[in-house]
């Protein structure tokens, strides 16, 4: 499929896998945040794929913009997890750096 050739898609899928494992270790009381994190990273992956399948430039942009906004939501989830003590700051910084790279790649697809 076409979307599988996108580097940002492949990186987002890999990050989703890693975040799923990380979030599964969070305390039970943060289950709501883990669910939100999973939805947000899934949105990055799914909107990237769907946007790449669209022929219209306007539609492609719309889906890639949604994917970028979802990456920001993932970042906010990571901030909360860190502030609640569920994720070490070093690990959070690594995830956020990768999100920034994915976001930059999506931005390049929008323009």
The enclosing domain of 88 has a CATH number of 1.20.1440.60
Residue 55 sits in which domain range? 2-110
Average pLDDT over the chain, rounded to whole?
96
Q: What is the pLDDT of residues 24-51, one digit of tens each?
A: 999 999 999 999 999 999 999 999 999 9
Domain count, the chain: 1
Rounded Cα–Cα distance for residues 85 and 106 (Å): 30
- 3-state DSSP percent of the chain in helix, strand and coil, to 5: 85, 0, 15
Q: With beta carbons less than 8 A apart as the criterion, state whether 8 and 48 touch.
A: yes
């Amino acid at each position: 499929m076409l979307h599988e050739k996108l580097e940002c898609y492949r990186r987002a899928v890999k990050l989703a896998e890693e975040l799923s494992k990380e979030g599964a270790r969070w305390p039970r009381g943060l289950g709501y945040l883990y669910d939100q994190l999973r939805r947000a990273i899934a949105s990055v992956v799914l909107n990237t794929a769907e946007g790449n399948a669209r022929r219209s430039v306007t539609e492609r942009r719309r889906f890639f913009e949604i994917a970028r906004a979802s990456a920001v939501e993932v970042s906010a989830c990571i901030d909360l997890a860190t502030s609640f003590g569920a994720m070490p700051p070093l690990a959070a910084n690594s995830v956020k750096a990768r999100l920034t790279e994915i976001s930059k790649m999506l931005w390049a697809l929008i323009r």
